[in-house]
Structure 1
Amino acid sequence: MKIVYTIIVLLIGCLLAIQGSINTQLTTFLKHPMQGALVNFMVGFVCLVGLNLIFRTQIPDWEHVKAAPWYLFGGGMLGAIFVSSVIFFIPKIGVSTVLAASIGGQLIAASVIDHFGLFGLTVQHISPSRIAGILLLLGGIFLIQK
């Protein structure tokens, strides 16, 4: 089953290339990357409201929201930074380079998070093969830019 999940996530990764590309095109109509990111998140908000209605989820209990540590609300901010950056950098260095570099950064950060079990996650020690994979991806970024 792990391979099926991996293939599904690989396909979802393809959506990021499409998302970045169409958000960049949208920005040509809106005249600023921040406006493109804002419209992206507004559409995403509407979609998430619709999905919550379809799945009949409840509105989060305010007491539960208040109990969460403050830093857990940074995910929305990080998403906004990512989407805005992708829109800004795609016209400058291309979709392939932007996504390869962002994946490289994600793998570096993910390996540190896994190794130390940050954010309460299960420890997954960094292995030589994981380090080699990251180094190969970083080399791939260099080749993609050539």
Structure 2
Amino acid sequence: MHPLTTYAAVMLVAGIGIPVLAALNSALGTRLGSPVAAAAILFCVALFSTLLVLILNQPRAVMGVTSAPKHLLLAGCLVAFYVLTITWAAPKFGVGNAVFFVLLGQLISAAAIDHFGLFGAQVSPLSLTRASGIALMAAGVFVTQQV
């Protein structure tokens, strides 16, 4: 299998997991009466899962964190923000609605990151075709919100 096919397949599965994560964690938050508690529990499970993978595959890799630029650690704050907000919003707004707007935000942010090569990303200029695709996706999000 071509490496790009593997990447695409893995990312497709990750994408499938995002609404599932939203639905599961919002249900847990509703059951507990606290989206923050549900998010904290999710992160505990995620931490232990990730530590297990780290220990089994690259136990020494974590040592490099002390020399990494500190702004790179803000990614943890962003994932916490995502989990907290999706857990809070999904029961009131709907999983589909919440994920559609997350997707729209991801498209806009990804286009800007790629266009400017931010955070060391590979530069991929925003062409008219790419911008049209993002606009089409935005229109799709809008259409899905119509009752």
What is residue 26 of structure 1 aligned with on the other side?
28
Residue 112, structure 1, aligned to residue 144, structure 2: no
Distance 1:85 1:133 in 2: 27
**Greater mean alpha carbon deviation, residues 3-12 or residues 129-138:** 3-12
The one-letter amino acid of 1:29's match is: R
Aligned-CA RMSD value: 1.5
What is residue 66 of structure 2 aligned with on the other side?
66
Question: How many corresponding residue pairs?
Answer: 144
Aligned-pair CA distance for 1:13:
0.6
Runs of 4+ with deviation above 6 angstroms:
none
What is residue 102 of structure 1 aligned with on the other side?
102
TM-score, normalising length: structure 2 = 0.90
Q: Gaps (5+ residues) in structure 1?
A: none
8 Å contact kept, 2:30–2:91: no
The one-letter amino acid of 2:101's match is: A
8 Å contact kept, 1:37–1:84: yes
Correspondent of 1:57 among 50, 56, 59: 59
Q: Gaps (5+ residues) in structure 2?
A: none
What is residue 90 of structure 1 aligned with on the other side?
90
8 Å contact kept, 1:100–1:137: no
